[in-house]
Structures are given as structure tokens and as C-alpha cells.
Amino acid sequence: MRVRYLVALVFGALLLAVVATPSARACWWGHQRPYYGPAYYGPSYGPVYGPPVVAAPPAYAIPGPLPPSAGVPTVQAPTGGGQSAPRGGDPLVQRGKYLVLEVAHCDHCHTPQESGKHDESKLLRGATLPIRPKDPKAEWADKSPDITRGGLAGKLGENAIVKFLMTGKDPAGNTPRPPMPTYHLNEDDARAVARYLLSVGADDKGGR
């Protein structure tokens, strides 16, 4: 009995000495890798003691509303007569110019002609209409008004122009006289048109 106890004690001491060496531990853990999984091991074949350390993902800043100084243009709408003239470089003015001259072709009726061509120096200043209805008794305007800053646009002001282009009615509640069409634009387009009309005549450079 004493002999078996002594043999077991010696064997245990030898086993403890072997396992205590780094190479023995690496060999032992290496055999156990499939069991513990790759997440428990570092880039080398040596073991990593303890749970794996997972790096936190980088924090991405979620942008909020841009301040006015961030380069986004802010536009304040004038409120009536006496307002400052919109600048020609304003993106809203450029959009209105496109809508007036290239989409609605307002210059076809509101710009006088010289030798069959539009007089660009009098762009949108009003003109005698070159067209007539077949019915001579039909309600029809003989002349188109000046719709620039120096004419009707300047008298109405931006907000009244916007309302007219959105509802088809002037401040008095009247609809336009033919051949002027009745428009029902959205507010963005109506304001762009108003800004452009108010820019024409401000520096005599509202043309193409």
C-alpha cells in the first residue's frame, strides 16, 4: 500500500514538472485548439489565457444640421415693395431664369421685337402682342405688361408674385387676362420665378 502511494506521488510530481514548462503548455493547448476555438488564440500559435479581447468598432460621427457657416446658402424672402434686388448669382434666381425663359417662354409675349427678333435690351419690359384670337370679340389683351423689378414685379413684391403664380389670382382676386395663362406652380418654383423677375431691371443684366 505504501509502495503504491509512493509511486503515485512520484508520478504526480513528474507530471507537474512537465506541464509547468512553457513548451509543454503550448503543446497541450495546441491540441486543445479545436475545442476552445480560434477566438481564444492570438496571431501566434501560443495560447492566450483568458477570454478573447475584441476591439470596439470605430465610432462614426452622425452629422447633425449644418450651421449657417458651413457653406449652405440661406435665403431670406423679401416681404414687399422696397425690398433689395436679388443677386443674379443666387441659385434661386438662376433657377427662376430657366423657368421664365426656357420653360414658360415668358419673353415671347413680354419682350418687344425688333426686325423679327426679341430686343434683349428690353427683356420682359412689356410689348404689343403679335397674336390675336380668331374671335374678334373674345376677351384679349392688346399689350403685355412690364413684369420686371421696374414694372409689375416691383409693384407687387415677392410674396404677392408667389401667391399669384400658385393660385392664378392677383391680390384683388382677379385671374389673368388672356392670352396670359393661369399658373398653379408649387411654392419653390413660384418663388424662384419671383426672385428672377425682381432681379431683371435691377442692373439691366437680366437677359440670357
> Does residue 27 belong to any structural domain of this protein?
yes
Residue 193 and residue 98 share a domain: yes
111 lies in the same domain as 184 = yes
Mean pLDDT of 115-121: 88
113-114 and 143-144 strand pairing: unpaired
- When pLDDT is averaged across residues 174-178 and rounded to a whole number, the result is 94
The answer for residues whose C-beta is within 8 angstroms of residue 85's C-beta and 6 or more apart is 149, 198, 199, 202, 203
pTM beyond 0.75: no
**Total residues belonging to the chain:** 208
CATH, residue 181: 1.10.760
66 or 123, which is more confident?
123
Whether residue 36 is found in the same domain as residue 83:
no
User: Is residue 96, in this structure, part of any structural domain at all?
Assistant: yes
Hey, is 101 helix, strand or coil? helix
Please check whether residues 34 and 112 belong to one and the same domain: no
State whether 123 and 21 are in the same domain: no
By the 8 A CB rule, do 42 and 48 touch?
yes
17 lies in which domain range?
A: 2-40
Claim to verify: residue 27 and residue 95 sit in the same structural domain: no
Count of domains for the chain? 2
Of 72-81, 147-156, 191-200, where does mean pLDDT reach its minimum? 72-81
Same domain, 175 and 121: yes
141-165: average pLDDT: 96
Looking at the domain assignment, is residue 66 inside a domain? no
Q: Do the domain assignments include residue 166?
A: yes
Q: For residue 199, which phi and psi values (nearest 5 degrees)?
A: -85, -25
Question: C-alpha grid cell for residue 59?
Answer: 465610432
Alpha-carbon gap, residue 73 to 46, rounded angstroms: 60
- Banded model confidence at residue 37, pLDDT cuts 50, 70, 90: very low
> 115's torsion region: left (phi>0), alpha (psi -120 to 50) or beta?
left
- Asked if 192 and 108 sit in the same domain, the reply is yes
With respect to residue 113, please indicate whether it lies within any of the assigned structural domains. Answer: yes
What is the grid cell recorded at 51? 477570454
**Longest distance between any two alpha carbons in the chain, whole Å:** 137
Categorize the per-residue pLDDT at 73 as very low, low, confident or very high, splitting at 50, 70 and 90: very low
Residue 54 lies in a domain: no
* Mean pLDDT (whole number) for 190-197: 98
The residue whose grid cell reads 431670406 is: 76
Is residue 20 in a domain?
A: yes
Residue 55 lies in a domain: no
Asked whether residue 89 falls in the same domain as residue 191, the answer is yes
92 shares a domain with 194: yes
Residue 66: band (very low, low, confident or very high) from pLDDT cuts 50, 70, 90: very low
Residue 47, strand partner residues: 41
